[in-house]
Amino acid sequence: MSIANGRKSRAGRSKTSCLLLAAVCLFASAIMVVPGRTGEPRGSVDWVAGYVEGVGSGTAVPSGSRPVDRLKSVRVAEVMAQRALAETIHGVRVDGATRISDAVKRYVLESRVHGLVRGARKVKEEVTWDGKTPFATVTLRVCLVQDIPECRGSVTLMGILPVEDRQEPSFVPAVYYEPGPGDEIHSPAAARTEEREAAYDSSRPVTGLVLDLGTMRHERELFPVVATFGEKEKLETVYSAKKVQPEVIRTHGVARYADSVDQAKGNPRLGDNPLVVPVAEVTRENLLVVWTSGARAIRETTRYGNDYLAEAKVVIAGR
């Protein structure tokens, strides 16, 4: 390329940049966010209903055309809702060691998250007027999994994660629990807590699992892990994503959440005879530890072709 051509190319790029900057400035002068009136963007995760939500608000400088001003205010509200949605999604906990922001860096998922946010479902749009000035509020949602009626066929948060290639954190026990000589041993923390027995109708096949947290706190996550203490008080895994086929995880997740045991029993996927297993403790890595009696009940009721764990018919109950 000649020096003259190079100068023309740089001049062209400079002209284009100036035009883009002018367009952005013009757009910015036409729309605005007014925190005092419309509020800051906000996001939240509803683990029970199964979605991430972003709410954004905005307004527009009156131009003399109400339809145009309305569209501008709605557009800026959508942009702010997308921002809130993206920030909230990045903070969703994947497991005891990882959040979506970490997974994005590890698996190069930023474009997928961006596409997920851009394709979010609008569930509410409201525009009010103060004289000639519009104030819009927009609510956007992204589903966690596909088994919710309004989410079927849509791209979900679980759907963009590399489920097949995902490795469990190092603190998740590689050994899976099997009833044996050590299954009467409980963890030291659980030993200080009065043991509660698992509950179900033993005359019929178990149709699902409810993990009862009681009053314990557990940070809700996409890939929860259930463990117990086996021989020599070593943790052994009872249930994790490894028990579930990737397609089942994408559709139903590894586990769903409920605020109470009664609410959990209302989940139709659990059937009419769910096994309710009390949680003995929650570790600092966010593992759910059950008494060995509960682990034994899970293991015994999933034998002989009745593997409800493989179908992710699991609900974690508690606030």
| pLDDT, tens digit, 9 for 90 and up, residues 1-13 | 433 444 444 444 3
Of 160, 176, 204, the domain-final residue: 160
- Ramachandran category for residue 22: left, alpha or beta (phi over 0 → left; psi -120 to 50 → alpha): alpha
Task: Of 20-34, 128-142, 153-167, 218-232, give the lowest mean pLDDT range.
Answer: 20-34
State mean pLDDT over 25-46: 59
Task: Please check whether residue 17 lies inside any domain of the structure.
Answer: no
- Ramachandran category for residue 58: left, alpha or beta (phi over 0 → left; psi -120 to 50 → alpha): beta
What is the band of 75 on the pLDDT scale with cuts at 50, 70, 90? Answer: very high
Q: Total structural domains in the chain?
A: 2
Instruction: Give the domain range for residue 295.
Output: 188-317
Q: Are 120 and 206 members of one domain?
A: no
Q: Between β-strands 274-282 and 226-229, what pairing exists: parallel, antiparallel or unpaired?
A: unpaired
Structure tokens at 213: 């947290």
Task: Please check whether residue 166 lies inside any domain of the structure.
Answer: no
Q: Are 213 and 295 members of one domain?
A: yes
- How far apart are alpha carbons 222 and 268 in whole angstroms? 20
Task: Please check whether residue 91 lies inside any domain of the structure.
Answer: yes
Task: Of 21-25, 194-198, 259-263, give the lowest mean pLDDT range.
Answer: 21-25
Task: Please check whether residue 22 lies inside any domain of the structure.
Answer: no
Q: Are 205 and 261 members of one domain?
A: yes
| pLDDT, tens digit, 9 for 90 and up, residues 175-202 | 999 887 655 655 555 555 678 889 999 9
| pLDDT, tens digit, 9 for 90 and up, residues 134-151 | 999 999 999 999 988 888
Structure tokens at 94: 């994947």
Q: Between β-strands 314-317 and 208-212, what pairing exists: parallel, antiparallel or unpaired?
A: parallel
Q: Are 214 and 119 members of one domain?
A: no
Q: What is the pLDDT of residue 4?
A: 42
Q: Are 223 and 143 members of one domain?
A: no
Is pLDDT at 213 greater than 60 in this prediction?
A: yes
Is pLDDT at 253 greater than 50 in this prediction?
A: yes
- How far apart are alpha carbons 119 and 156 in whole angstroms? 10
What is the band of 105 on the pLDDT scale with cuts at 50, 70, 90? Answer: confident
Task: Of 153-157, 163-167, 259-263, 264-268, give the lowest mean pLDDT range.
Answer: 163-167
Percent of the chain with pLDDT over 70: 84
Task: Please check whether residue 83 lies inside any domain of the structure.
Answer: yes
Is pLDDT at 273 greater than 70 in this prediction?
A: yes
Mean pLDDT of the chain: 86
- Residue 54, amino acid: G
CA triplet 266, 271, 276: central angle to 5 degrees? 75
Q: What is the pLDDT of residue 293?
A: 93
pTM of the model: 0.83
